[in-house]
Structure 1
């Protein structure tokens, strides 16, 4: 089973998506702050994630873009890979470097599996 987001993230590898209790959510919130994905440590309710849906705000504006182009996934679009995807992959690589610098090996391994295989996941 797979759960790949529009931007190529793998929910089934994500510590935030997989968090099952308050302690795991708190660890995810602290990690998201440390790597720069949040400007503060947010509450467990705020960090909890059930996956991307069309009603959520997309950092990369991909939800609106897929709707506008009448496709379910980015790789179905005639413009793929577009500037939004290229910019997202550049940004993701910057996050990857930051994660290498501030994460333990275990944290980095989890984040790499969840977030840094976007390009391959998008082509599936």
Structure 2
């Protein structure tokens, strides 16, 4: 009787452990899918992305990028200033949002020492 109770208890513990690990891995996978969506958008150089939804289907899940353009021009094209990337797996999803501020309000100042970049409001 004691051995059957111990085996039953241990099998429940193992099942709980595996379920929790599966949820953790699914959360990480959906995060990295969303992060990969931001990278895909960066490769397309933000200004070239059309507004709307771009969907990419992978073996491990889906990536959905939604780009919102502004009236600001970059190389003659409306600049995409907000990208929302969603990574989705069968167990969950994560959302990352990238926002590009107005170029008229900020500038990069190079101080000349140690290649430090300082971002200040003008």
Q: TM-score, normalised by structure 2?
A: 0.26
Bigger relative contact order, structure 1 or 2 (CA pairs below 8 A, ≥6 apart): 1
| Richer in strand (by share) | 2
**Which structure has the bigger radius of gyration?**
2
